[in-house]
A and B are shown apart, each in its own frame.
Chain A
Amino acid sequence: MTPELERRAPAPVLAARGITKSFPGVRALDRVDLEVAEGEVHAVLGQNGAGKTTLMNILFGLIHPDEGELYLRGRRVRFRSPHDALASGIGMVHQTRRLVPAHTVLENLVLGHPGGRGLLDLRGARREVEALCARYGVHVDLEARVWQLSEGEKQWVEILKALYAGVRILILDEPTSALTPPEVQVLLRALRALVDRDGVTVVLVTHKLPVVRAVARTVTVLRAGRVAARLVVSDTTDHELVQHMVGQEVTLPAVHTPDHPGPAVLQVEDLSAYNDKGLLSLRGVSFTVHEGEIVGVAGVTGNGQEELAQVLAGLRPAASGRVRLLGRDITHLPTLDRWRLGLGYVPAERAEVASVAALSLVENTGLNYHFDPEFCPRGLLDRDRLERLTRQILATFRVKAPHPYVRAQHLSGGNLQKLVLGRVLSRRPRLLVAHLPTQGLDVEAAAFVRAQLLEAKARGAAVLLISEDLDEIFAVSDRVGALYEGRFVALVPRSEADPETVGAWMAGSMGRPA
């Protein structure tokens, strides 16, 4: 490094050197270096599974590296827990919310505040937080319970919390993933204000290039747990960044939409349902999915997608309306009978709902076959048949597992998802409901899952894909729509919409960008 360059780039305020971290079966990070200069936005770019979140959790003291060191303003630091990181002025906004849903916004902000010893001073805290809100142009009801807020508002609460705690280095993990496009603009503006006006340092983790372009000065690109490149954003092109990020391109087969849709498989009329809090969160949706068709439903989490999927699977009662499968009214049919009729359901929670961690893969296959007379003649499970089928699924769906009797808890998220999808598709379902099927998967696994959805469609299945990833929806769907506050904003053939329009729908707006 020449002296000249050193003067141009300010001394790193936060640095990580040679960070290595392994989890059972995977090396998440391999000798990763990171340097963040004071008062800049530094982006950490990478695909899902590149190790971004692991690295950030290490910077925040949530997990400990196997090897490597952290330096804060040139001094070696060891964070035993987030408490230490916070005390050093490092705050983190996680990808999944770390707020107490039952508490008020204000209580969440006060929790763990360095000044909070002894008695709670909610009134004083309120004054300070209101000043902060005014400074960054944020409106949040401080007395609202967090579970009542939208995802975007919750994220703001977390950012406010970090600022209120006096954080000077703010780590944001995929902050735009839960936001609608207009909300993203507000966030990016506020981040610029934070850095330019208040000199806060921001480490921004993302897999989206436009976000990097919009706010970051420097970027570290991670690929498969290693640093692929460290660049100044203005000196590089999008193409260069993508190449560092992806390595090699993964291509999907083109979507072929037949001219004449097949017969209707799923008919939903004016369907409503309550969520767990007893609020009507699905409010009268009507749509049809035909044979050999993929309908992609976009939406920000919490707009009724989960309820829709669960009502279709029979796991949540419908408050009103009607569901027909192959012409038969299944609105009040138990889950089991729906499986028998040809439903296939891939829930979002692959580890918690779609599999039993303590059972072997063979016994997990039983989840989709315990009611099938071919697999349990005279009420006894035919283990040999189940094992044969499991081996077949492992092979065709390229699941990495040592043997079919390993427990489900030992599979990684991607392998587990492929297994679940394989199990469900092996039943040759007439209707496939897939909820967030590629969430948290690495690029290859996600591409494989999407290809399987297309394959199911080619076999004549009706597919309802519920996803937050617009690219995914546009990659495979014949028709696209968006749920907002429990209603369809629109549902149109893919050729009549583009990602920007659907993004606006996700925010509840019908408007098309000019």
Chain B
Amino acid sequence: MSELLVRSLEASTVFLLAALGELVNQRSGILNVGLEGLMLFGGTAAFLMAQSTGSYAAGLAGGIAVGSLLGWVHGLFSVRLRGDQVVSGMGLWILSFGLTTYLGSPRTGPLGLPRFPALLGLSPFVYFGILLVVAVWFVLSRTSLGLAIRSVGESPAAAAASGVNVAGIRYLCVVFGGALAGLAGAAYTLSYNPVWNYNFLMGWGFVSLALVFFSMWNPWVLLGGSVLFGAMWQLSLSPEYVLPGVLSRYVWRTVPFAVTIAILTVISTPWFRTRWGLAKPQALGVPYGD
């Protein structure tokens, strides 16, 4: 049972890291629907780096670097070239899905390193994730940079007229989002489930994206949502803990996805929107520029 709890928290952390980065870049007005792709690429890069160098640190660095790079590419397309952010995000996802399958296939299988070091029985990513929630909350609500980020996401024209460098802030956020997506992928392939398989994420990134919408762009709510989904994910893998023998294990695997659709539906109702819907950054997904 405690093993289940530990695994749940580690799963939650993967969701949390990816979603927190996406939350920051959405607060600046940039939507990256290719989150899953960034995680896939970051995770694969981390896996390959760690395996070939034998060093977890190199793996982490590789994952973060690749994630940041892809985040920057998304920024280039959506900030500098003012392209359609959905096209760019989808492009990054399919690109990553295709290329990681090709690049990672020869190394299909376990990582083959000693287990990722644990801290008080938990993966260090768990603690890092919580720290990051505090940091993101603090920066967004208590600093000038945070005010600038929020303003750029709400009304870039107003921010620009106040002398804020809109493009600079958006680049910063989208690269940060990419770095965290890469880190989330690395946390998956190095610590949570250190076995490479083609398309190993199977929807984690898209669930993380949905979590950002659920969170109403608040890092604390995001933390709660991630913990909930981590637990649900883990339970869907081992349903015998709750209802042994009821339904096949494959049906249980559908639960987190079905629940995601259900929550998305609820938060989209007019009833919910008029009460809590104002949190959505007004300029989300809208290109800005002359």
Is there direct touching of A and B in the complex, by C-beta distance under 8 Å?
yes
| Chain A hits for B157, CB < 8 A | 98
Verify if A223 is at the interface (C-beta below 8 Å from B).
Answer: no
Label chain A's interface by main secondary structure: loop
Complex alpha-carbon distance, A107 and B159, angstroms:
11
Q: How far is the CA of A116 from the CA of B143 in the complex (A)?
A: 9
List of B residues within 8 angstroms of A83 by Cβ: 163-165
A92 surroundings in chain B (CB, below 8 A): 161
Within 8 A of B (CB), among A52-100: 62-63, 81-83, 86-87, 92, 94, 97-100
Residues from chain A with a CB closer than 8 A to the CB of B143 are: 118-120
Known: A81-B163, A161-B162. A99 touches B155 (CB 8 A): yes
Once the chains bind, are A86 and B163 in contact (CB under 8 Å)? Answer: yes
Contact (Cβ within 8 A) A100 B163? no
- Give which listed residue, A86, A101, A118, A278, contacts B154 with CB less than 8 A: A101
Closest to A145 in B: B278
> Among B155, B165, B274, which residue has its beta carbon within 8 angstroms of that of A100?
B155
| B150 interfacial contact with A, CB 8 Å | yes
Q: Check A117 for interface membership: any CB of B closer than 8 A.
A: yes
A511 to B284, CA, bound (A): 45
Whether the Cβ atoms of B150 and A112 lie closer than 8 Å is no
In the complex the two chains form, is B154's CB within 8 Å of A100's CB?
A: yes
Chain A contact residues (Cβ within 8 angstroms of B): what range? 20 to 34
Please report the C-alpha to C-alpha distance between residue A86 and residue B165 in the assembled complex, in whole angstroms. Answer: 13
B290 touching A63, Cβ below 8 Å: yes
Task: Known A103-B150, A119-B142; judge A112-B290 contact (CB<8 A).
Answer: no
Task: Indicate the size class of the contact surface on chain B.
Answer: 20 to 34
Asked if A111 is at the interface (CB within 8 A of a chain B CB), the reply is: yes
Q: How far is the CA of A111 from the CA of B152 in the complex (A)?
A: 10
Interface centre among B144, B148, B278 (most CB of A within 10 A): B144
A419 at the B interface (CB under 8 A): no
Contact B164 A112 (CB under 8 A): yes
A32 within 8 A of partner (CB):
no
Evaluate whether A111 and B165 lie within 8 angstroms (CB atoms) in the complex, with A103-B150, A103-B154, A119-B144 already known: no
Give which listed residue, A82, A101, A102, contacts B161 with CB less than 8 A: A82
**Contacts A81-B160, A161-B162: A102 and B154 contacting too (C-beta < 8 A)?**
yes
Cβ of A82 and Cβ of B150 under 8 Å apart? no
CB pair A111–B278 under 8 Å, yes or no, is: no
Distance in Å from the Cβ of A465 to the closest Cβ of chain B? 29
Q: Does B282 contact A (CB under 8 A)?
A: yes
Expressed in whole angstroms, the minimum distance between the Cβ of B168 and any Cβ of chain A is 10
Q: Which residues of A, 105-119, contact B by the 8 Å Cβ criterion?
A: 107-108, 110-112, 116-119
Contact A112 B154 (CB under 8 A): no
In the complex, the number of residue pairs spanning A and B with C-beta atoms less than 8 Å apart equals: 76
Chain B residues closer than 8 Å to A81, beta-carbon distance: 160, 163, 165
Instruction: Give the residues in chain A near B146, CB-CB below 8 Å.
Output: 120
A118 to B147, CA, bound (A): 10
User: Who on chain A is nearest to B274 by CB?
Assistant: A278
Residues of A within 8 A of B158 (CB): 97-100, 108, 111
Q: Which residues of B contact A110 (CB under 8 A)?
A: 144, 147
Can you name the residue of chain A whose Cβ is closest to the Cβ of B280? A102
Measured between beta carbons, the chain B residues less than 8 angstroms from A161 are 162
Q: How far is the CB of B49 from chain A (nearest CB, A)?
A: 35
Specify which chain B residues have a CB less than 8 angstroms from the CB of A112 in the assembled complex.
Answer: 148, 159, 162-164
A 268-284 to B, binary, CB cutoff 8 A, 1 in contact else 0: 00000000011000000
With A63-B290, A101-B282, A278-B274 known to touch, is A116 a contact of B160 (CB < 8 Å)? no
Q: Is B12 an interface residue (CB 8 A)?
A: no
* Whole-angstrom CA separation of A101 from B157 in the bound complex: 12
Interface positions of B from 225 to 278, Cβ below 8 Å from A: 274, 278
* CB-contact partner of A111 in B142, B159, B274, B290, under 8 A: B159
> Provided the pairs A118-B144, A119-B144, A120-B142 are in contact, do residues A94 and B161 lie with their beta carbons within 8 angstroms?
yes
Shortest CB-to-CB span from B67 to chain A, Å, is 27
16 A–B pairs (Cβ distance < 8 Å), ordered by A: A83-B163, A86-B162, A87-B163, A98-B158, A98-B162, A99-B158, A100-B155, A102-B155, A110-B147, A111-B147, A111-B159, A111-B164, A112-B162, A118-B144, A119-B142, A119-B143
B residues neighboring A (CB under 8 Å): 142-144, 146-148, 150-151, 154-155, 157-165, 274, 278, 282, 290
Q: A82-B162, A100-B154, A111-B148 are in contact. List 9 more A-B contacts (CB 8 A).
A: A81-B165, A83-B164, A94-B161, A101-B282, A102-B282, A107-B147, A111-B158, A111-B162, A112-B163
